[in-house]
Amino acid sequence: MTTNKRTASSLMNDDIEAKKLKTEIDSTSSISTTSKESIPSFVDDNVTAKKICEYGEACYRQKNPKHTAEYDHPSTSASASTKDVSKRLTSIEKIEQSEPYRFFLSTVYGIQDNDNRINAISLKEILSAEHGQLIRSAQFNYMFDIEFLLEQYPSEFRLKPLLIVHGDSRDDNHSIKTQCSPYPQIELCPARLDIPFGTHHTKMMFLLYETGLRIVIHTANLIPQDWKQKTQGIWISPICSKTSDNRESKTNFKKDLLDYIERYRARQLQFWQKTINEHDFSSINVHLISSTPGRHTGPDINKFGHLKLRQTLKNYLNLENDEQYYSAPIIGQFSSIGSLGPNANSWLTKEFLTSLKQLNTTSLDSPELQLIYPTVENVRTSFEGYMAGGSLPYDMQTAMKQAWLVNYLHRWKADHRQRSRASPHIKTYLRVANDQYKNLLWFLVTSANLSKAAWGGLEKNNTQLMIRSYEIGVLFIPKQFSKTMFPLFDASSFPIPYDLPPVKYQSTG
């Protein structure tokens, strides 16, 4: 039986390589000149050397002799000047060192080793066999490259059952159905999208091991370019052991996750609903903040979208003398902007900011709202060059209708994480204390961009919240980590993804 599995796995890998060989092209042909020039050289210019493959160790053509004869595949975390293997951490060590937050940025090709070593992780490291014997997994996402995804799994796990939860309704050669047809181990679960212009934007993994269940919530599509030179956010749960007494976390994470999955109304997810119920989530210390399509009313109105965030902050933030924080700045950072209305009070500074500013006592103050979204110069000077703009959609007509928004916008800058040139696809929302950006009151990493489709809009005299899309994220509240605030400048600093305070757009930006 073992021999048969190995043979099947080998055949699948050969099939992947054969497909790639048929469509072999210069792997740098689709990169802009700016992006090409930004990739560092690892060789002596005076000797004839191979080109550097843009996908590094993640490339799934490394078994192709023609490709490897022309390209080298340095480690994603390789330094521009050296590859010091002795200092590399295993994926287990990376997760251990990330405690207690377990929050990572994606590794970035082209930056120094050390900046990919601490609180940074690759897709291959997330799926590594070091974590245990995988039984089966599920991947929720918006965009998929199935061959790329399978290559990120260890070879011995590629025939394990895999559920793909998607929102792709196409029926052509690029559809998810066509991509998955050669792989009998893959089952598809289409997400219901009953409201126009909604998307299945959630990015989440279920990884079931012999030792337990792990949940991963992140911001990256499952395509090569999202894991190469962009800034992505990733939260990785502990491996939750199986239990007979339905143990819950102090944040009600299990209940909220089951509420979210129930909204798919999908037979394919019944196994995972049962599995989640059977595992001990008591070690999880973050809150789940999700969105599901629908018009939510009655007791459901606070279960999803920005009202779920509002309710969670109100119930759990519990700051002493919170009046001193009424004017504490709030920061939103995202990679896409939707239609927000003719003025700031249409939605942004009214219902949305009301949720973000929520404390356990009510305030009429309007704190400063700082929004981070890359400038054209950010895009031009990024590792990917202008190609990075393809992942930063903001319709020109919409932008012209809401020119008022520029007054809130700030540049992308992440020098302290060496990611100023790694274009952000991460989405985060946070509140700093009134102490010159030395502490955080809370932090959220999510798939949700700045849009009503993602967060929801109130209707019918505020009795109904209408959400178009599926989204998911995790909220960090200091109380759940036995802290009053998250420090940014000491030994237990929260791994903030970008520089603070943000820098406003210039008039010429």
According to DSSP, the residues that pair with 439 across neighbouring strands are: 487
- How many other C-beta atoms lie within 10 A of the C-beta of residue 171? 8
Distance CA 74, CA 54 (A): 9
Region of 366 please: left (phi>0), alpha (psi -120 to 50) or beta: beta
Distance CA 128, CA 243 (A): 25
Please, are residues 487 and 308 in contact by the beta-carbon 8 Å criterion?
no
Q: Which of 200, 218, 410, 425 is catalytic?
A: 425
Distance CA 367, CA 359 (A): 12
Q: Which of 200, 201, 279, 287 is catalytic?
A: 201
Strand order in the sheet with 162-166: 120-121, 103-106, 233-236, 212-218, 204-209, 134-140, 162-166, 186-190
The count of C-alpha atoms lying within 13 angstroms of the C-alpha of 434, restricted to the half-sphere facing its C-beta, is 10
Give yes or no: 131 in active site. no
Please, are residues 125 and 94 in contact by the beta-carbon 8 Å criterion?
yes
333: three-class secondary structure by DSSP:
strand
The count of C-alpha atoms lying within 13 angstroms of the C-alpha of 181, restricted to the half-sphere facing its C-beta, is 8
Please, are residues 187 and 268 in contact by the beta-carbon 8 Å criterion?
yes
Give yes or no: 306 in active site. no
Angle between helices 270-277 and 253-262 (to 10 degrees): 170
Residue partners of 261: CB distance under 8 A and separation at least 6: 269, 272, 273, 276
Go through 59-79 and write b for each residue having 16 or more CB atoms within 10 A of its CB, e for each that does not. Answer: bbbbebeebeeebebbbbbbb
Which residue has 């190469």 as its token pair?
A: 228
Kindly list the catalytic residues.
201, 425
